C-alpha cells in the first residue's frame, strides 16, 4: 500500500468521527408571518410595513434577523410579495422589548430603535434601507422612537 492511500484511508474516517463529535450550530431563522405569535422569544413581534403610516402590506417577525434577504411582505395590500429588505417604510414593535432596525445586514450601519410597543409611521435612518434587526440592543447613535 502506498503512503498516499494509507493516509487518505486513515484521514477520511477520522474526519467523519470528528464531525459526529463536534456539534454544529444551525442557522437560526425568524418566522415571518401574517400574524404575531406572542409566545415567541420576545413575547411579541416586530411588524414591518411596505408604506409609511403603517400602510400597505406587512410582515411579522418573531426573532432576530441578521439579513432580511429572502423575506417578502405577506399581507394583502400594496407591496405584497415584494422583498422586505430595503423596502420597509414604517414599523410597529408589538413586544415588551426594544428592537433595533439596521441599514446593513449583520446588525451594522445606521439604525432606528423602537422602544417597547413603539410605532414608527416613517422610519428615520432606515426608511426603505432596512437590512437586519434585533431585540435588546441599541446604540447611542440610533434614532429612537
Q: Phi and psi at residue 111, in whole multiples of 5°?
A: -150, 155
Please count the structural domains in the chain: 1
**pLDDT per residue as tens digits for the range 43-66:** 789 999 999 999 999 999 999 999
> Is 10 part of a structural domain of the chain?
no
Q: Measure the N-to-C terminal CA separation of the chain; round to a whole number of Å.
A: 71
> Is 84 part of a structural domain of the chain?
yes
> Is 41 part of a structural domain of the chain?
yes
pLDDT value of position 93: 96
Cβ-Cβ contacts under 8 Å for 49 (sequence gap 6 or more): 55, 56, 57, 58, 88, 89, 90, 91, 92
| CATH number of the structural domain spanning residue 127 | 2.60.20.10
Task: Give the range of the structural domain holding residue 45, as residue numbers without chain letter.
Answer: 32-137
- What percent of the chain clears pLDDT 70, i.e. is strictly above it? 76
Cα gap 32→29, rounded to integer Å? 9
- What does pLDDT average to over the chain? 84
Flag whether pLDDT at 125 surpasses 80. yes
> Is 106 part of a structural domain of the chain?
yes
pLDDT value of position 32: 82
CA 98 to chain centre: 14
> Is 77 part of a structural domain of the chain?
yes
> Is 144 part of a structural domain of the chain?
no
Classify 51 as helix, strand or coil. Answer: strand
Q: Residue 58 region, left (φ>0) first, then alpha (ψ -120 to 50), else beta?
A: beta
Flag whether pLDDT at 144 surpasses 70. yes
> Is 82 part of a structural domain of the chain?
yes
Edge-first strand order for the sheet with 90-94 is 32-33, 55-61, 45-51, 90-94, 119-120
Cα gap 95→41, rounded to integer Å? 10
> Is 125 part of a structural domain of the chain?
yes
pLDDT value of position 138: 86
- What percent of the chain clears pLDDT 90, i.e. is strictly above it? 66
Amino acid at each position: 500500500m502506498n503512503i498516499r492511500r494509507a493516509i487518505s484511508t486513515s484521514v477520511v474516517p477520522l474526519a467523519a468521527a470528528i464531525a459526529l463529535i463536534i456539534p454544529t450550530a444551525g442557522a437560526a431563522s425568524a418566522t415571518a408571518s401574517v400574524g404575531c405569535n406572542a409566545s415567541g422569544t420576545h413575547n411579541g413581534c416586530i411588524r414591518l410595513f411596505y408604506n409609511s403610516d403603517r400602510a400597505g402590506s406587512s410582515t411579522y417577525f418573531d426573532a432576530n434577523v441578521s439579513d432580511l434577504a429572502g423575506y417578502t411582505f405577506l399581507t394583502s395590500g400594496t407591496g405584497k410579495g415584494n422583498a422586505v429588505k430595503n423596502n420597509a417604510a414604517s414599523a410597529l414593535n408589538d413586544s415588551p422589548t426594544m428592537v433595533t432596525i439596521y441599514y446593513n445586514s449583520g446588525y451594522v450601519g445606521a439604525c432606528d430603535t423602537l422602544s417597547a410597543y413603539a410605532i414608527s409611521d416613517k422610519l428615520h435612518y432606515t426608511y426603505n434601507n432596512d437590512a437586519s434587526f434585533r431585540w435588546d440592543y441599541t446604540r447611542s447613535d440610533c434614532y429612537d422612537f
